[in-house]
Amino acid sequence: MDSSLPRPGRPRFRLSTVIAGLLQAAFYLAYPLTVYLAYSRLETRQLALLLFGLYAISVALRFRGSAAELWALLRQFAPLGVLRGVAMATGNRTVLLFLPVGVNLFLFATFSLSLRSGPPMIERFARTVEDDLPDFTLPYCRKVTIAWCVFLGANALLMVALALAAPLSWWALYTGLISYLIIGVLLAAEFVLRKLWFRHYGDGLADRIFRWIFPPQRTRLGRRSLAYVAERGVAERGVADLK
């Protein structure tokens, strides 16, 4: 057998996909600083054209030749393209400050709709890590999704206020640094709360430390987590015996 042929069932590594993802992440992270620095050096239309070009590169790197995929990418980037188009047409620089607002509103709508149509967004994330998610964690996933909706909505409103009424330096500082620090704190706090509440641990280093400091057998939910792990182990052994 030719060893150069790709193995079936194993996804191939795509360098362009990684580059596109890194470029898009770098764009969001550097956007406030880019706007802040370019405000004093470029005209509004030049700045909007520069940002539009960066997004066009990201779309081109992610495109794989499918018409359906191209349409999905264009729909994803359409609201951001409209903002740049309005800035280029009107010469109004304030329009460019609303891109982070658009991102937050998009996430807010995505999380909110998941509460209605189900499953909640946090549950979807959790199932990417653990397919057989315990039923007793589902209400918690819904509550965390609601909490993120509140944060994203409040974050969007604050960014609107900064864009309309605050100095540009305040807008750049919040959208480029403070908001990311808040997100990091929220993620860390949720992780700790989840471990202390359910005491459902895995095999990672952090889980082993939590298990040592906060043993699961000391709480009712912790004992339920232990029972769930034991039941799943029995089921997995039964499947293995059948094979």
Q: What is the pLDDT of residues 110-150, one digit of tens each?
A: 999 999 988 999 999 988 887 778 888 889 999 999 999 99
For 74-88, the pLDDT digits (tens) are 666 666 667 666 766
User: What's the pLDDT score for residue 118?
Assistant: 82
In sequence order, what are the residues at sequence separation of 6 or more whose Cβ sits closer than 8 angstroms to the Cβ of residue 80? 55, 99, 102
Residue 111: exposure state from Cβ atoms within 10 A (0-12, 13-18, ≥19): buried
Output the pLDDT for position 115.
94
Residues contacting residue 90 through CB under 8 Å, at least 6 positions apart: none
The pLDDT, as a whole number, for residue 41 is 66
- Distance CA(90)–CA(231), nearest Å, equals 63
- Rounded Cα distance, 134 and 232, in Å: 10
For residues 34 and 39, give the distance between their C-alpha atoms in angstroms, rounded to a whole number. Answer: 8
DSSP secondary structure string for all residues of 87-113: HHHH--GGGGGGHHHHHHHHHHHHHHH
Residue 5's SS3 state is coil
pLDDT reported for residue 223: 86
**In this predicted model, what pLDDT tens digit does every residue of 5-26 receive, in sequence order?**
444 444 444 555 566 566 666 6
